[in-house]
Copies of this chain bind each other. A is one copy, B any other.
């Protein structure tokens, strides 16, 4: 299964538009970081809602690939996000994904999103990925 460096190489090569990096992997869990400054800031300088959704999507994707191997055809089928607090302006966003199911054809996980250094989530996401038959056959 891919390690942290291999997942970051994969992201950099196949998703050059993402600004996320993988910062930790654990059993059925992955943590990604998104810079708090630069592109995509919402009015007021905080990270925007769509960027939080993109961070959740990357965190889920990486957590699943760490379990099943780098299978690029794995695709998001559903993503649901609750936005709860305004991110702290200028702070990096951390997305901590915990997988709840890695089945034969579907994987489901949740992602807690934080402004770095704060205890309260800024947002929480739950998502489902479809795993292609080719990956299941391995």
A117 within 8 A of B: no
Q: What class of interface size applies to chain A in its complex with B?
A: 35 or more
| Residue in chain B with minimal CB distance to A54 | B50
Query: Please, how many angstroms separate the alpha-carbon atoms of A14 and B45 in the complex?
Result: 12
A78 contacts chain B at the CB level, 8 A cutoff: yes
Q: Is A2 an interface residue (CB 8 A)?
A: no
Complex interface bits, A71-92 against B, C-beta within 8 A gives 1, otherwise 0: 0100111111111110000000
Q: Give every chain B residue within 8 A of A100 (Cβ-Cβ).
A: 82, 84, 121, 124
Min CB–CB distance A105 → chain B (angstroms): 6
Give min CB distance, A34 to chain B, whole Å. 12
In the complex with contacts A17-B39, A17-B41, A108-B126 CB distance below 8 A: no
A12 to chain B, nearest CB (A): 13
CA distance A13 to B130 in the complex (A): 33
- Chain B, residue nearest A81 (CB): B79
The residues of B that contact A40 with a CB separation of less than 8 Å are 17
Q: Which residues of A contact B (CB under 8 A)?
A: 14-15, 17, 39-41, 43, 48-50, 53-54, 57, 72, 75-85, 100-101, 103, 105-106, 108, 110, 120-121, 124, 126, 128, 130
